[in-house]
Every structure is written in structure tokens, then in C-alpha cells.
Amino acid sequence: MKPRYPFRRTCKEVSALLIAREDRDLPWQDRLGLKLHLAMCEACPAFERQLLTMRQAMGRWRAYTEED
């Protein structure tokens, strides 16, 4: 039987959690697993920064008003 690590997340799971975090609060178990994974992974923090950049750009785009 494969050992179970309750807070271990794969990059695929973390990317889904990062996207879900934009829309809702995550349970503490997911927040902890996310934090642990982000501390150990090289790629996922870059993905997190990309999501933040997109969110900020969309916020500016929504606030944009075209000058006549």
C-alpha cells in the first residue's frame, strides 16, 4: 500500500488550488498543502505570479474608460 501524505500536493493539484483560491476561501488543509508545495517547488510560484499579473491586468481593464 502506498503511504499517504495528507498535505502533499502535486503541481497539477496546486495549479487547481491557485485558480480556486481566486473564487473562494480554501480549507486550512488545502492552504497548508499549498504553502508547503510553493516553498519546495520552482515552477508553481511562477504560475502563482502569472495568475496575480492576470488578475491585476483584468482589474485595470475593467476600470479602463476610453477617452474620446
Domain residue spans of the chain: 11-56
Q: Model-level pTM greater than 0.85?
A: no
**For the chain, give me the number of helices (H) and strands (E)?**
3, 0
| Predicted confidence pLDDT, tens digits, the chain (68 residues) | 555 677 788 999 999 999 999 899 999 999 999 999 999 999 999 999 999 999 999 888 888 766 54
Question: In sequence order, what are the residues at sequence separation of 6 or more whose Cβ sits closer than 8 angstroms to the Cβ of residue 33?
Answer: 6, 7, 8, 9, 13, 14, 17
pLDDT for the residue 61:
87
pLDDT for the residue 30:
93
Nearest Cα residue to 40 out of 15, 18, 11: 11
